[in-house]
Amino acid sequence: MSGVESDVIAVNNGPKCRHSPSTSCGDCRLSGICLPIALQHDEVARLEDIVNRSKTIQKGYTIYRQDQEFSAVYAVRVGCVKTMRTTQDGKEQVTGFYFPGEIFGMDGISKNRHTNSAVALESGAFCEIPFDRLQELSSKLPSLQRHFFQLMSSEIAFDQQLITQLSKNSAEERMAALFLSISSRFAARNQSGLRFRLPMSRGDISNYLGLTVETVSRILTRMQQAEIINIDNKEVEILDIEKLRMSAAVL
């Protein structure tokens, strides 16, 4: 399956900032993701008017709740967000992790209601793009709406591919697929894909992968012994990406 590596959003080559919360959309490091290239300068200003930029949040903050009406999509600026849902038998299921530059909240798009809750895993910042206002603006700037739906469709496809990969394969393959996914997502945003920090707990990882915490720990130990990765608490270094790909059964 090609999903894990090739389906991330195009690499951002736009101007860089130090992701300061006060940055305007035009200067944002993530503008290549949010903004259609064809947008003129004054059009960017109009978009800025509707985006609630860089709201800062504390660890544990809930951005939206399951069953809440869908009104906006969100982009992670700083930090990491996890999405999860409560199943019918009352259990919590982690459904995704989102890193800077990634858009979340699309789970609401096909039912107009969020099927997940989104919670900040660490203090950070996100942008909120209200959908009704986006649609209003899009009637004046058609390329904008097309661009957003383009973004969303690739995010939706990417999510599905990851979910499918994670639901089918062995524990080892799932763990490796998650590492590869995170690695390629960082790399696609001009950050190191070989050294990164895992913002989520072992509990969240095991829940997401449908494994027990013990299994996750055992696999991590095995991967270290095989010199595929080096892991120190939350700091991860990928030592042998080819072996990791083989473990994930994606070649």
Partner 1 sequence: MKLKQKWDAGFLEKYQVMAPRYTSYPTANLFHEQFSAEDYIKACGKQKNCISPISVYVHIPFCERACFYCGCNRVITRDRERIQNYLQALYEEIRLRGKLHGHRRVLQLHWGGGTPSYLDPSQMTELMHELAMNFELDGSESRDFSIEIDPRTVAEQSIALICGLGFNRISLGIQDFDPQVQKAINRIQSYESICRLMVEIRKFGFDSVNFDLIYGLPRQNCQTMDKTLDQVLALKPDRIACYNYAHMPDRFPAQRAISSTALPDGMEKIRLYGMISSRLIDAGYVHIGLDHFARREDSLAKAVEEGKLQRNFQGYSRTLANDLVGLGASAISEIGHCYAQNAKDIQAYLAALDKGNLPVAKGMELNDKDRLRKKIIQSICCNLSLDTEAIEKEFGISFRQTFGLQLESIKAFEKDGLVKWDGKVLRVSYSGRFILRNICMLFDEYLYNSPTSKFSKVV
Q: Where are the beta strands (DSSP E) in 131-219?
A: 195-197
List residues binding partner 1 (CB under 8 A). 1-3, 7, 70, 109-113, 115, 145-147, 149-150, 152-154, 156-161, 164, 168
Task: State the Cα–Cα distance between residues 23 and 18, nearest whole angstrom.
Answer: 9
- Residue with smaller CB distance to partner 1, 123 or 164: 164
Q: How far is the CB of 142 from partner 1 (least distance, A)?
A: 8
Q: How far is the CB of 161 from partner 1 (least distance, A)?
A: 5
- Residue with smaller CB distance to partner 1, 146 or 234: 146
Signed CA dihedral, 133, 134, 137, 140: sign only = negative
Q: What's the count of helices (H) and strands (E) in the chain, helices before strands?
A: 9, 11
In 85-141, which ranges are continuous DSSP H helix? 131-140
Q: How far is the CB of 197 from partner 1 (least distance, A)?
A: 28
Q: How far is the CB of 66 from partner 1 (least distance, A)?
A: 12
Residues in the chain: 251
Q: How far is the CB of 110 from partner 1 (least distance, A)?
A: 4
- Residue with smaller CB distance to partner 1, 54 or 169: 169
- Residue with smaller CB distance to partner 1, 5 or 29: 5
Q: How far is the CB of 82 from partner 1 (least distance, A)?
A: 19
Chain-centre distance for alpha carbon 206: 18
Q: How far is the CB of 90 from partner 1 (least distance, A)?
A: 18
- Residue with smaller CB distance to partner 1, 42 or 69: 69
Task: State the Cα–Cα distance between residues 211 and 163, nearest whole angstrom.
Answer: 14
Single-letter amino acid code for the residue at 179? F
Q: What is the DSSP letter of 69?
A: B
- Residue with smaller CB distance to partner 1, 154 or 190: 154
- Residue with smaller CB distance to partner 1, 125 or 250: 250
Q: Which of 185, 187, 183, 195 is nearest to 232 (CA)?
A: 195
Rounded to the nearest 5 percent, the helix, strand and coil shares of the chain are 45, 20, 35
Which residues are within 8 A (CB) of 40 and not within 5 positions of it... i.e. 6 or more apart? none
Q: Which two tokens stand for residue 246?
A: 């083989």
